[in-house]
Copies of this chain bind each other. A is one copy, B any other.
């Protein structure tokens, strides 16, 4: 009998579904599958899509998937993450809406993930699910997240290309809050571009882009130092140079979707020619390696430490008789507490 990993690599969609559940729940089987699958990863283009609730991310992701299916025949995985609430656990996103257009197409696979426990846990689970899709041979993985917090930033670190989606009429205050989010954007999308307030939103975004990106760039070219004016406005992105373009879309009727897809393709070419693709991969995998080292060391240490001893140390800390530093020293040296 073929095991799940072999079945997945052979294109079995049921095996994919089952493995995703194992991996999401962080079971022993899920972990060992991730380990086996790892050598098959590193091929998919990971695209993050983030933005506030109500800007139409789901429709946009839906339309992008349809576009890619029609124009390129690339296979598409969609991961819909909802970390809205770090405390009560978010709602499962409405998959049925998408299903109407994408149902029955074996080249599209949709997976919803709600917040489970910590935000850190969600970013971790999303990374794992992404690896499964990558190993299963999906060409593009669209990772959709709701909100404007640290979880989005973490998930964006996962993606090669991050779209930040806005909509007209959301006011200046929101823009200010999302200053941090804007900085992770590779492509800015103003969806619902038929709504009033489009010009205002575009102006606000351009203003923030100008603050986020220096006006002049100095770099070496054929051994000479050159100064380049920021191409903001002109949007002349080159092989070595990327300023987030602003794309206007109306996801409901498909307006602007081909242009958005073209922007995404351009960004991939930029990542490859500039060496940024490899840099992002390296930094991502280094973070993963470090987290795993930390995890393994801590688990080992805690399992070798008698629970009563840890509890005793914690009580002494609570009573302010021992500082956390002294406690750690004592616990590590096996001293009596």
Contact = CB atoms under 8 A, between A and B. Distances in A.
B173 A53 contact: yes
A322 to B, nearest CB: 8
A69 to B, nearest CB: 27
A186 to B, nearest CB: 13
A174 to B, nearest CB: 6
Contact of A288 (B38, B281, B292, B324): B324
Interface of A: 31, 34-36, 38-42, 52-54, 84-88, 119, 147-151, 153, 170-171, 173-174, 176-177, 179-180, 183-184, 212, 278, 281-282, 285-286, 288-290, 292-294, 296-298, 301-302, 313-314, 317-318, 320-321, 323-328, 331-332
Nearest to A32: B325
Contact of A320 (B41, B294, B297, B314): B41
A183 B88 contact: yes
B35 A147 contact: no
A195 to B, nearest CB: 13
Given A149-B148, A294-B294, A301-B293, A285 B325 contact: no
A53 to B, nearest CB: 5
Q: From DSSP, what is the main secondary structure of chain A's interface residues?
A: helix
Nearest to A310: B289
B173 A325 contact: no
Nearest to A301: B297
A84 B151 contact: no
A314 B292 contact: no
Nearest to A288: B324
B293 A326 contact: no
B177 A39 contact: no
Given A52-B176, A180-B85, A301-B297, A324 B38 contact: yes
Which of A39, A176, A293, A321 gathers most chain B CB within 10 Å?
A293
16 contacts: A31-B325, A35-B326, A38-B323, A53-B176, A84-B176, A84-B179, A85-B179, A85-B180, A85-B183, A87-B180, A87-B183, A278-B318, A289-B313, A292-B324, A292-B328, A297-B332
A41 B281 CA distance: 43
Contacts of A301: 293, 297
Given A85-B179, A293-B332, 19 more contacts: A31-B325, A53-B173, A53-B177, A84-B180, A85-B183, A86-B150, A149-B153, A149-B180, A170-B171, A171-B173, A174-B177, A289-B328, A292-B325, A293-B302, A293-B328, A296-B328, A296-B332, A297-B298, A297-B332
